[in-house]
Amino acid sequence: MALRINDEAPDFSADTTAGPINFHEWIGDGWAVLFSHPKDFTPVCTTELGYMAGLAGDFAKRNTKIIGISVDPVESHQRWKQDIKDVTGHAVDYPLIGDPELKIAKLYEMLPASAGSSSEGRTPADNATVRSVFVVGPDKKIKLSLTYPMTTGRNFDEILRVIDSLQLTAKHKVATPAQWKPGEDVIITPAVSDEEAQAKFGGFTRPKPYIRVAKQPQG
């Protein structure tokens, strides 16, 4: 059964470039982004890990930790980090999980149970489905999951935008429309009566009977 939004993110213990972790304990009471890679020393993933390193401060401002995983040993990750810095100019200071027995890739349904139990001898194509992003909330539930093809680098600015929306909508009874950015108008959810919406949002517009638009709530 594939993992779905609002499923609990499977917990695990693993070695990382920052030492051993327990995933749920590592997340703590904040948010987390777990993003996976088919193999170390691959070109697209090199650019991705470096770009994420450059965004580390932006994620921290949102109380969000970032952690990468590749189905290679931690020692390989440590060597790869220098290449990433050489290519992108950003040092990878966030943890990279080693998964040489493919346990976490299988736990997160990124590889089938029949994939074997070792990363040794596997090519990037063998691990093509290990190209996912999971956003996990403070309740340890999956809030977003995306899987990309190997040839398409991920847009991590979009992940920041999604986290802004997730954090806003977790706090207020609103949803965000297509292409929404922080500070723009939001949609009031059906759980809010017109009277409550008037008091809470200081008024709203109704372009259609089922759509109520208001200014983004603050705080």
- Active centre residues (catalytic): 45
Q: Are strands 64-70 and 96-98 parallel, antiparallel or unpaired?
A: parallel
CB 180 within 8 A of CB 215: no
Residue 198 backbone dihedrals phi, psi, to 5 degrees = -60, -45
Looking at residue 125, the DSSP 8-state letter turns out to be G
Rounded CA separation 158/36 (Å): 16
What are the contacts of 194-201 at 24+ separation with CB within 8 A? 200/173
What is the secondary structure of 1-14 as a DSSP string? ----TTSBPPP-EE
Angle at CA of residue 56, ends 148 and 119, nearest 5°: 45
What is the length of the chain?
Answer: 219
